[in-house]
Amino acid sequence: MDEVGGVAIVTLTRPGFQTALRLALALPGKSTVYIPAGLEVAAGGRGGDSFNIENYSGPLSSFLGRVFHRYRSLILVMAVGIAVRALSPHLVSKKADPAVVVVDVAGQHAVSLLSGHLGGANALARLVADILGGRAVITTASEVQGLPPLDLVARDLNMDVRPAAAFSKVMAALVNGEPVEVLVERPLLKTLEEALPALRPRLLEDCTPEGEDRAGIMVTWRRLPLPGPRWVYWRPRVISAGIGCRRGVPAGTILCALGMALAEAGLSRRSLAALASVDFKGDEPGLKEAAARLGVKLLTFTPRELAGCLERRPFLNRSARVNRFIGIPGVCEPAAILAAGEGELIWPKKSYRGVTVALALAR
């Protein structure tokens, strides 16, 4: 089945259907209410502009297995025990599983069961409780204790978190009341202070970790060693790579050149936000494939835009050869700068196996 997104509301009984109907009428967006085949519903209860009603047959667990990853959110109007047993064979991880909220048939309790932070089940449980006049049941440790949900903060800030196993140790330290250090690159300090005020982020350049036995977060685009086993990188996506290459250069060659440039510059690939080049390279198969394999955008700029950047920044490298071929004296450096929002050039143009690479840092 293809993913359809939205909210699926699954019920087992006629009283449960009435609760599901109240939710379907009030929830934003389009919902689908699933009821067992043969369950009779009142006239007029066959759907509307904001929701559909569909029948399902067979065991509940089998049905949930078919729809589990089709929806971003599921609301199960049934007992928690039934929901747990039916869902258990289909769970993957909190990063992949949809948000699941379980509601009793009377609508008195909305239990955030799965993917509370990342999937949004905590927020959905509160919304369901508001609609039904019930109570949201949230058991996420950090939320119960009033602590910052680090996984949600990282996602909202578009940070790549590595290694995942160590992040669990950092979260455990936080909920166990241990100090958690946050060391940050200067341009991001204000952002992290606003996002994690209770943790009092400090400048990475001015600090050394207080001990490898401590837990902490290092917010950086640089390749720096982690202080200990309970530390993680938060990698902001702030680096743009300007690429210059001939027609027909394969993606593997571009990726190799880029990897060499990042390594020499001491920068993490996880902080890469975009590849950039001149506009007529936008349909270059190797560039498009390289961007897709990296999971980043491919941005292109007109020769006029690149020339304007060169005029504003007279220190940028210029090439008579490039000027003869495309009419402007440089591509990769101005492209990197423009892709980074008129950012700072942190690695000047260098050629690797016939591919030129320059790196810029977003402001």
46 within some domain: yes
CA distance 231 to 162: 9
The strand pairing partners of 300, in sequence order, are: 277
Mean pLDDT of 348-361: 94
**Judgement on whether residues 117 and 13 belong to the same structural domain of the protein:** yes
Both tokens assigned to 314: 């007279």
| Residue whose entry in the numeric block shows the structure tokens 């140790």 | 169
**Judgement on whether residues 170 and 181 belong to the same structural domain of the protein:** yes
pTM of the shown model: 0.70
Task: Note the pLDDT of residue 76.
Answer: 96
110 within some domain: yes
pLDDT digits (tens, 9 = 90+) for 194-210: 999 989 999 998 666 66
**Judgement on whether residues 244 and 339 belong to the same structural domain of the protein:** yes
- The three-state secondary structure class of 317 is coil
**Judgement on whether residues 123 and 21 belong to the same structural domain of the protein:** yes
Domain end marker among 87, 114, 139: 139
**Judgement on whether residues 206 and 314 belong to the same structural domain of the protein:** no
pLDDT digits (tens, 9 = 90+) for 55-86: 998 899 999 999 988 998 999 999 999 999 99
User: Could you give the number of structural domains in the chain?
Assistant: 3
**Judgement on whether residues 247 and 356 belong to the same structural domain of the protein:** yes
60 within some domain: yes
Mean pLDDT of 309-326: 85
The strand pairing partners of 10, in sequence order, are: 34, 76
pLDDT digits (tens, 9 = 90+) for 129-181: 999 999 988 877 555 555 677 888 888 899 999 998 888 888 888 878 888 99
Provide the domain limits for residue 118. Answer: 7-139
144 within some domain: no
Q: 119 phi and psi, to 5 degrees?
A: -80, -20
Residue type, 241: A
211 within some domain: yes
CATH, residue 333 = 3.30.420.180
The secondary structure of 290-332 as a DSSP string is HHHHHT-EEEEE-HHHHHHHHHH-TTS---HHHHHHHSSS-SH
CATH, residue 99 = 3.40.50.11220
Both tokens assigned to 295: 């999971």
**Judgement on whether residues 228 and 258 belong to the same structural domain of the protein:** no
99 within some domain: yes
Domain end marker among 189, 219, 236: 236
Does the structure show a pLDDT above 90 at 346?
Answer: yes
105 within some domain: yes
Domain end marker among 139, 162, 190: 139
pLDDT digits (tens, 9 = 90+) for 82-131: 999 999 999 887 778 888 999 999 999 999 888 776 678 888 988 999 99
Band of pLDDT at residue 1, cut at 50, 70 and 90: very low
CA distance 85 to 62: 11
**Judgement on whether residues 255 and 231 belong to the same structural domain of the protein:** no
**Judgement on whether residues 40 and 67 belong to the same structural domain of the protein:** yes
2 within some domain: no
Task: Note the pLDDT of residue 44.
Answer: 42
**Judgement on whether residues 207 and 271 belong to the same structural domain of the protein:** no
**Judgement on whether residues 36 and 19 belong to the same structural domain of the protein:** yes
